[in-house]
């Protein structure tokens, strides 16, 4: 049993990340023969992409996928720690699985992802969820075949979680959910240690993938007809800072643009590491989408300082203004309300900032104390009721701007990568270059293609259009 250890997870040394290769062991290729698996994913795109690796490994072990967990032989929860409700959802699902396991003793239940990296979660599982069969963390997805094999041969709960800075494992197989849009990791972990955030503990030290591995992956995607890549990292703007040589996101974006893939997105950006050079590259290449996700978290410099964000409200606005010079750019953000010590005045500063920036999209959250983070130890006198009120007020305002921004697009002709069939009957849907969802009538044969659509109507969260 290898349990998570927060003291170890927090450590950062100057050592560079080592690169390993996925070691496929053909001995295990029949491990899952005749068995069905179901993976439930919580949280961010990084987790979604990890699930794509996990599914490919399970397929390689002989399992087959099912989309119904009630008839699966193996259920794996790929969990998220970012806020308490993600925790609660995963524990709720474990509760449901307990009942199923009581009826079907052969059901294998596993847990992985960020929650597996948390000491408190594993303590609780050891006490109250002894029937969970195996657990692995974010650093050892590549060990899944060994962990499963050990569990299946010994039949005892198997926990293997590394709490270390982490390395980079290349060559893990991937079963992509989408046939024309792909996630490509460019880095792992985060060294920013914003005081509210659990990610630096659950995902380890920042480690950038080398250019050649990224470009080779993208070239393969192009060969297979992919139209869009999203370059993923917790803080992509810090890409390359861990290299001993000079190569950063500006350089990488340019090299990825030169591959000729039609659409490039990247997320998430931290304002601290955003350079003018990056902005110039985004302006220069038509295939880098003019859509920037730039979490602000708060509009109060006092709260930003307590959050350890390393910028003031004024600095954020200065960067925002520069970004807005990119033609037709859209900017989205993340905002936390109810951070400890946030007064009504601080909150009003957030509202002022929102009124200035008029974001195209915003993900808004109530602060959720995460055990082990500095912010969880701060005294917090604001009631939940007050925090909910602030969230409601904020949402009303951000929604108003989503609609206003969308209305400004009526009549414009936009390029859309057609995603699939819309929830709206008889329509297709897709995303504009600025990442806005648009519905329109068209032939299913257009799915996966980039088409031109004229915007005819605007809603808060989507546009309507007609094919040109």
Residues engaged in binding ligand 5AD (CB under 6 A): 82-83, 196-197, 295, 297, 334, 336, 365, 367-368, 370
Q: In whole angstroms, give the CA distance from residue 231 to residue 253.
A: 9
Q: In whole angstroms, give the CA distance from residue 190 to residue 425.
A: 42
Residues sharing a CB contact under 8 Å with residue 355, sequence separation 6 or more, in sequence order? 397
Residue 370 near which of ligand 5AD, ligand SF4, none (CB within 5-8 Å, type-dependent): ligand 5AD
Q: What is the closest distance, in whole angstroms, from the C-beta atom of residue 296 to ligand 5AD in the complex? A: 9
From the list 97-105, 174-182, 192-200, 218-226, the region that binds ligand SF4 by CB under 6 A is 192-200
Alpha-carbon dihedral sign for residues 136, 373, 46, 168: negative
Q: Whose Cβ is closer to ligand SF4: residue 132's or residue 296's? A: 296
Among 4, 110, 145, 200, binds ligand SF4 (CB under 6 A): 200
- The tokens for 448 are 């996966």
Residue 234 near which of ligand 5AD, ligand SF4, none (CB within 5-8 Å, type-dependent): ligand SF4
Give the residue carrying structure tokens 């989205």. Answer: 332
Q: What is the closest distance, in whole angstroms, from the C-beta atom of residue 193 to ligand SF4 in the complex? A: 6
Q: In whole angstroms, give the CA distance from residue 414 to residue 438.
A: 10
Does 194 contact ligand SF4 by CB under 6 A? yes
> Which of 86, 12, 72 shows the shortest CA–CA distance to 38?
72
Cis peptide before 268 (omega within 30 of 0): yes
Does 193 contact ligand SF4 by CB under 6 A? yes
Read off the DSSP letter of residue 16.
P
Residue 271 near which of ligand SF4, ligand 5AD, none (CB within 5-8 Å, type-dependent): none
Does 83 contact ligand SF4 by CB under 6 A? no
Among 161, 199, 362, 414, binds ligand SF4 (CB under 6 A): 199
Does 186 contact ligand SF4 by CB under 6 A? no
In angstroms, the Cα distances linking 275 to 249, 292, 325, 328 are: 9, 13, 14, 19
Q: Whose Cβ is closer to ligand SF4: residue 162's or residue 188's? A: 188
Residue 192 near which of ligand SF4, ligand 5AD, none (CB within 5-8 Å, type-dependent): ligand SF4
Does 192 contact ligand SF4 by CB under 6 A? yes
Q: In whole angstroms, give the CA distance from residue 60 to residue 81.
A: 28
Q: What is the closest distance, in whole angstroms, from the C-beta atom of residue 200 to ligand SF4 in the complex? A: 5
- Restricted to residues 226-285, the positions that interact with ligand SF4 (CB under 6 A) are 234-235, 270
Q: What is the closest distance, in whole angstroms, from the C-beta atom of residue 48 to ligand 5AD in the complex? A: 14
Q: What is the closest distance, in whole angstroms, from the C-beta atom of residue 357 to ligand 5AD in the complex? A: 15
Q: What is the closest distance, in whole angstroms, from the C-beta atom of residue 144 to ligand SF4 in the complex? A: 24
Burial 50-71 (b: 16+ CB within 10 A, else e): bbbbbbebbebbebeebeebee
Residues sharing a CB contact under 8 Å with residue 166, sequence separation 6 or more, in sequence order? 17, 138, 139, 188, 189, 203, 204, 205, 207
From the list 175-183, 194-202, 371-379, 399-407, the region that binds ligand SF4 by CB under 6 A is 194-202
Residue 230 near which of ligand SF4, ligand 5AD, none (CB within 5-8 Å, type-dependent): none
Q: Phi and psi of 83, rounded to 5°?
A: -140, 165
Q: Whose Cβ is closer to ligand SF4: residue 234's or residue 382's? A: 234
Q: In whole angstroms, give the CA distance from residue 413 to residue 466.
A: 9
Residue 368 near which of ligand 5AD, ligand SF4, none (CB within 5-8 Å, type-dependent): ligand 5AD
Residue 350 near which of ligand 5AD, ligand SF4, none (CB within 5-8 Å, type-dependent): none
Coil vs helix vs strand at 209: coil
Q: Whose Cβ is closer to ligand SF4: residue 298's or residue 406's? A: 298
DSSP string for 243-301: SSS---HHHHHHHHHHTT-SEEEEE---GGG--HHHHHHHHH-TTB-SEEE---B-S-H
Cβ contact 205:14 at 8 Å = no
- Restricted to residues 332-351, the positions that interact with ligand SF4 (CB under 6 A) are none
Residue 336 near which of ligand 5AD, ligand SF4, none (CB within 5-8 Å, type-dependent): ligand 5AD
- The tokens for 32 are 């899952």
Does 208 contact ligand SF4 by CB under 6 A? no
Among 31, 197, 221, 289, binds ligand SF4 (CB under 6 A): 197
Positions that interact with ligand SF4 (CB under 6 A): 190, 192-194, 197, 199-200, 234-235, 270
């Amino acid at each position: 049993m290898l349990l998570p250890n927060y003291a170890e997870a927090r450590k950062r040394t100057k050592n560079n990340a080592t690169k390993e290769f996925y070691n496929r062991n053909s001995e295990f290729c029949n491990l899952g023969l005749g068995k069905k698996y179901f993976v439930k994913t919580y949280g961010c795109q990084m987790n979604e992409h990890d699930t794509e690796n996990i599914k490919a490994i399970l397929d390689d072990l002989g399992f087959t996928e099912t989309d119904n967990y009630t008839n699966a032989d193996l259920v794996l929860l790929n969990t998220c720690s970012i806020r308490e409700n993600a925790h609660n959802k995963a524990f709720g699902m474990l509760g449901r699985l307990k009942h199923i396991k009581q009826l079907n003793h052969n059901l294998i239940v596993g847990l992985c992802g960020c929650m597996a990296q948390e000491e408190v979660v594993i303590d609780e599982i050891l006490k109250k969820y002894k029937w969970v069969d195996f657990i692995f963390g974010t650093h050892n997805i590549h060990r899944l075949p060994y962990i499963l094999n050990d569990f299946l041969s010994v039949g005892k709960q198997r926990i293997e979680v590394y709490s270390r800075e982490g390395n980079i494992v290349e060559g893990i197989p991937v079963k992509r959910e989408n046939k024309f849009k792909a996630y490509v990791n460019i880095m792992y972990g985060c060294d920013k240690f914003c005081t509210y955030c659990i990610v630096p503990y659950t995902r380890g030290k920042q480690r950038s993938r080398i250019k050649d591995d990224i470009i080779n992956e993208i070239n393969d995607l192009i060969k297979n007809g992919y139209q869009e890549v999203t370059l993923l990292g917790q803080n992509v703007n810090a890409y390359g800072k861990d290299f001993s040589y000079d190569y950063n996101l500006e350089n990488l974006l340019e090299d990825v643009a030169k591959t000729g893939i039609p659409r490039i997105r990247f997320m998430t950006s931290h304002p601290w590491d955003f350079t003018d050079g990056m902005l110039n590259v985004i302006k220069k290449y038509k295939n880098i989408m003019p859509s920037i996700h730039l979490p602000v978290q708060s509009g109060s410099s006092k709260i930003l300082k307590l959050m350890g964000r390393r910028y003031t409200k004024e600095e954020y606005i200065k960067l925002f203004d520069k970004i807005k010079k990119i033609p037709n750019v859209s900017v989205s953000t993340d905002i936390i309300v109810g951070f400890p010590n946030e007064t009504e005045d601080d909150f009003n500063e957030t509202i002022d900032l929102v009124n200035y920036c008029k974001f195209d999209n915003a993900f808004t959250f109530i602060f959720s104390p995460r055990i082990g983070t500095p912010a969880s130890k701060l005294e917090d006198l604001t009631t939940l009721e007050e925090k909910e009120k602030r969230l409601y007020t904020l949402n009303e305002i951000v929604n108003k701007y989503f609609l206003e921004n969308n209305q400004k697009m009526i009549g414009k002709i936009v390029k859309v990568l057609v995603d699939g069939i819309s929830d709206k009957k008889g329509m297709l849907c897709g995303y504009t270059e600025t990442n806005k969802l648009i519905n329109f009538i068209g032939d299913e044969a257009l799915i996966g293609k980039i088409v031109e659509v004229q915007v005819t109507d605007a809603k808060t969260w989507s546009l309507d259009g007609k094919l040109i």
